[in-house]
Amino acid sequence: MRILDRSVYVGPSHYARFPVIKLELDLGELEAWPTARLGQDYVDALAEALPGLGEHGCSYGEPGGFFRRMREDEGTWLGHVLEHVALEVQNVAGEDVTFGKTRSAGRAGTYTVVYEYAEREQGVAAGELALKLLCSLLPEALRPADSVPADWSWPEARDEYIRYAQRRALGPSTASLVHAAEGRNIPWLRLNDQSLVQLGHGRYQQRIQATVTGRTPHIAVELASDKEETNKILATLGLPVPRQELVQSEGQALRAARRIGYPVVTKPYNGNHGRGISIRLTSDEEVAKGYAAAREHARSVIVETFLEGDDHRLLVVNGELVAATRRTPGNVVGDGMHTVAALVEIVNQDPRRGVGHEKVLTRLELDAQAESMLARAGLTAESVPAAGQVVYLRSTANLSTGGTATDVTDIIDPDNRDMAVRAVRAIGLDVGGVDFLSKDISQSYRKIGGGICEVNAAPGFRMHVAPSEGTPRDVAGPVIDMLFPPGSPARVPIAAVTGTNGKTTTARMLAHITKMAGYTPGLTTTDGVYIDGQRTVSGDMTGPVSARMVLADPQIDIAVLETARGGLLRAGMGVPEVNVGAVLNVQADHLGLKGIDTLEQLAEVKRTVAEVATDCAVLNADDPLVFRMSAHTDAKHICYVTLNPQHALVREHIRAGGRACALEAGVNGHMITLYDRGGHIPLVWTHLIPATLEGRAMHNVQNAMFAAAMAFSLGIKLDAIRQGLRTFDSTFFQAPGRMNVFDEHPFKVLFDYGHNAHAVGVMADLAGRLDVAGRRIVVLAGPGDRRDEDLRAIAAAVAGRFDHYICRRDDNLRDRAPDEVPRLQADELRARGVPESAISIIPDEQEAIDAALAMGQPGDLLLVFADALIRSWKQITKFRPAGSASASAPARAPREAAASLLVEQPVEAQAMPSLEGLIRDERGIRFAPEGED
């Protein structure tokens, strides 16, 4: 049994609308060993290792259903068992994940196992640990070789996984803030492997790191870290603080303790989490030890008066006290029968105690610090304390070291409440925790005494949201309400576009419309990420990482995401939902790759964009596969786009008050028309849209319709939509490789990136509709990783439509022979009646384009399908026909001159960092191009 392949989906995919991991699992000979054949002992051993599996309902939908499935009839196969174990391992580490499914992968003994995860790395580790556990329980004769080390121990591996998961997971405080944000429908992005989190998108974002917010003043954090300065500031305001001195040597510590008067406390100058603190020191010897303990954590040590009383944490947010907790150090209570070590074991049996932050409470540990505390009490781990004797194992009351917390918010005296608020304000913190010692928090410090030990920046929330005793407090909510007052925006509108052809042009059109409407758009496309029209990263950026990059940019206030098949199949979408999702078409391309062999399967992948749309799904009513996606979206509106004004189903949709965008014929040409809630809205004549070549380029007419429908669904005003469409053209500068026209030679050149039969056919149709006095010549190719039938279909799409055909290949052979693709396409042309004299095979792209340009005569039309876009466009614009003046270049139209600026500068000169140099996924691995579609 082994894992053949793994895919980690960071967002919605065709498997689920949330993050999942997909494994391709090969059972090998274990295919013949379902759980019933493995026997009751195997099931019982698994139940003992992971008792929580007893709560899994599986197909029965009730606790115990999974084990019932394993035992009855022939049982179930180990792929299905692995799914449940991977989920339960994460549950043990404190994550709430429940979704999984396992299906045959088509080959005997091979399964596709899909399971939900909370954090990427721990999700991957959960699958690997689940595999080891299942293998370790197998009879030795069936156990795969080298699957489990000889000294492997499940309890040790489980606890190590829990610690690993906690190191990777958000801490309790950060997690509580994230959950509070989610409850307010505020999106979030984790920005590193620690606690740095972005709340909100684009220009509305706020950042937190643990409980420090982007609004926390740096000087306030510095002051809170300087315990001596904090003490002075609070003392000058008349707040109760102990007397203290800062020392740098043991001798200074001893002298300070004598001046202050015993008992005293020693603590690091800038420590946290109770590390290095020693309390109730009554002699020079104890002070020397306390100084040494504090010195391990800081160069300077504070010696201060020891104050009697319970340790309280008073939490202040935005000038208000929101919670108060009494903290008790980790301890055991004697019963007169058990040793201290035995009492620790008994306490740790409490189901609320776990490893680290796994549970509400942390396990007690008999470590060096505990032994020191026992020694001070005249005890050892083997001592038997008297009944009722409290034995402390820690000097500080931190939950992370086994302490307990009791909520006292409802009983705190108003004077103590005001004192805490004044202390936090004095330091300047927006979120602060006051450590206050008092014998009775319900009594004013003015009457019974007490004192502030310190003021904490980044106070922990765990003790307040999950106290050992008392009422849990929502302390994260006030922080979120401070950062995002009710009614303030946190999200930017997001539009996603997918389809086989037209995605890039439609996305660029929509981004242009939004810019004309006054927005600052973030755009992801096949050639880069654009912020407010400026390319910031080059490369194929149509996957989830680029989506997150745009949403993290503090400039943008709207996002347009081109979403390609490759990114969806490899890692899913980068956002859990979009406001508007559009599916343009589903055509034969990339079939036979990554398990997608049919158009129906490809449609299921692309359907994800429509499924996650919340406001409107914009669908091509003229494509049956896309039209049927309307049954799979929960969007408030469905907007159908059709070139057929007689479309019966769209007509019924409009009459029912639905939204649509239709192309209607009129005296002056074709009008793009919107329908919504019974209204009829003529938008713009197609011949007024430059990108349509006076309405002849029907594919760009359709792209413009989709852009208009999406913009309308985003709430953009009609005049801005009209202005955007009328100012967007198909120059190389604005839409490289998308029907670019160069007509400054004696002949005209059409330049396009079309790389599948549908796209090539559309361009061939356009070439046929243009007025051409001379010949039509085409430079043809196809990506080498396509199936032979797909490459032949590309050739078939142009056969009989041109006077001469030049067949070439891409620079990247993709495991093909150097002339394999052009010869295969030439064969298809011959089979379809193209004469041999009309076919040239010139494999190299540059040589093929040069040959076509040299062949061009006045009045001819050259249709060039290119792969290396910048190089090929430069080749076309720099070409000088025979007999032209080579010493001086012809004058250029302004837009073409602008395009040449893009083409003629080397990429390095454009200061555009490469994708490989900037983007790393969560594992730090260099990212390949994301979209590939």
> Tens digit of pLDDT for each residue in 277-297?
888 899 999 999 999 999 998
Dihedral sign for Cα atoms in the order 576, 577, 578, 584: positive
Six-digit token string for 482: 């401070």
Residue 858 has phi, psi (to 5 degrees) of -50, 130
Residues 690, 697: Cα–Cα separation, whole Å: 10
Six-digit token string for 209: 């790191």
695: left (phi over 0), alpha (psi -120 to 50) or beta: left
Residues 871, 848: Cα–Cα separation, whole Å: 13
Residue 741's beta-bridge partner residues?
750
Exposed e or buried b per residue across 53-67, where buried means at least 16 C-beta atoms within 10 angstroms of its C-beta: beebebeeeeeebbb
Residue 404's beta-bridge partner residues?
328
Residue 845 has phi, psi (to 5 degrees) of -60, -45
Residue 896, pLDDT score: 42
pLDDT at 357 over 80: no
Q: DSSP characters for 7-64?
A: EEE-S--SS-SS-EEEEEEE-GGGGG--HHHH-HHHHHHHHHH-GGGGG--GGGTSTT
Chain-centroid distance, C-alpha 721: 31
Q: What is the number of helices (H) and of strands (E) in the chain? A: 32, 38
Alpha helices in 696-812 (DSSP H): 698-713, 718-726, 757-769, 788-798
Over the chain, what is the mean pLDDT? 89
User: Each residue of 501-519: pLDDT tens digit?
Assistant: 889 999 999 999 999 999 9
Is there a contact between 511 and 732 (Cβ–Cβ < 8 Å)?
A: no
Chain-centroid distance, C-alpha 564: 16
Residues 471, 467: Cα–Cα separation, whole Å: 7
Reported as a pLDDT band with limits 50, 70 and 90, residue 72 is: confident
Residues 843, 197: Cα–Cα separation, whole Å: 51
SS3 (DSSP) at 926: strand
Residue 926, pLDDT score: 34
Query: CA of 823: how far to CAs of 764, 789, 830, in Å?
Result: 20, 13, 10
SS3 (DSSP) at 689: coil
pLDDT at 656 over 80: yes
User: Each residue of 773-826: pLDDT tens digit?
Assistant: 999 999 999 999 888 998 999 999 999 999 999 999 999 998 899 999 999 999
Dihedral sign for Cα atoms in the order 224, 228, 234, 236: negative
Highest-pLDDT range among 6-15, 67-76, 271-280: 6-15
Chain-centroid distance, C-alpha 84: 24
For residues 536-552, give the mean pLDDT.
91
Close Cβ partners of 924 (under 8 Å, ≥ 6 residues apart)? none
Cα atoms in the 13 Å half-sphere on the side-chain side of 657: 3
Residues 929, 895: Cα–Cα separation, whole Å: 29
Q: What angle do CA 654, 660, 664 make, to 5 degrees?
A: 95
Alpha helices in 559-668 (DSSP H): 565-571, 599-611, 624-627, 648-655
Residue 398 DSSP one-character state: -
What torsion do the CA atoms of 202, 206, 207, 210 make, to the nearest 10 degrees? -140
Reported as a pLDDT band with limits 50, 70 and 90, residue 361 is: confident
For residues 304-331, give the mean pLDDT.
93
Residue 695 has phi, psi (to 5 degrees) of 85, 0
pLDDT at 893 over 60: no
Query: CA of 659: how far to CAs of 644, 701, 724, in Å?
Result: 15, 18, 21
Which H or E run contains 895?
helix 894-904
Residue 358, pLDDT score: 53
3-state secondary structure 500-530: CCCHHHHHHHHHHHHHHCCCCEEEEECCEEE
For residues 58-77, give the mean pLDDT.
89
**Chain length of the chain:** 933
Residue 672 has phi, psi (to 5 degrees) of -80, 125
Close Cβ partners of 870 (under 8 Å, ≥ 6 residues apart)? 736, 902, 903, 907
SS3 (DSSP) at 438: strand
Residues 108, 118: Cα–Cα separation, whole Å: 31
920 vs 646 pLDDT, higher one: 646
User: Each residue of 693-741: pLDDT tens digit?
Assistant: 889 889 999 999 999 999 999 999 999 999 999 999 888 877 788 889 9
pLDDT at 892 over 50: no
Measuring CA to CA, which residue among 93, 269, 187, 901 is closest to residue 491? 187
Residue 157, pLDDT score: 95
pLDDT at 108 over 70: yes
User: Each residue of 476-496: pLDDT tens digit?
Assistant: 999 999 999 999 999 999 999
Residue 34's beta-bridge partner residues?
none
Six-digit token string for 171: 């801490």
Residue 414 has phi, psi (to 5 degrees) of -55, -35
Is there a contact between 728 and 688 (Cβ–Cβ < 8 Å)?
A: no
Is there a contact between 455 and 423 (Cβ–Cβ < 8 Å)?
A: yes
* Parallel, antiparallel or unpaired: strands 748-752 and 331-333: unpaired
Reported as a pLDDT band with limits 50, 70 and 90, residue 922 is: very low
Q: DSSP characters for 302-366?
A: EEEEPPPSEEEEEEEETTEEEEEEEEE-SEEE--SSS-HHHHHHHHHTSTTEESTTSSSEE----
Q: How far apart are the first and last CA of the chain?
A: 34
Residue 667, pLDDT score: 85
Measuring CA to CA, which residue among 324, 328, 331 is closest to residue 459? 324
Reported as a pLDDT band with limits 50, 70 and 90, residue 169 is: confident
Six-digit token string for 924: 């730090």
Is there a contact between 704 and 509 (Cβ–Cβ < 8 Å)?
A: yes
Quickly tell me which residue has 């609004």 as its tokens: 215
pLDDT at 76 over 90: yes
Measuring CA to CA, which residue among 825, 770, 828, 834 is closest to residue 802? 834
Residue 219, pLDDT score: 97
Reported as a pLDDT band with limits 50, 70 and 90, residue 567 is: confident
User: Each residue of 737-774: pLDDT tens digit?
Assistant: 888 999 889 999 999 988 888 889 989 999 998 889 99
Which H or E run contains 161?
helix 154-168
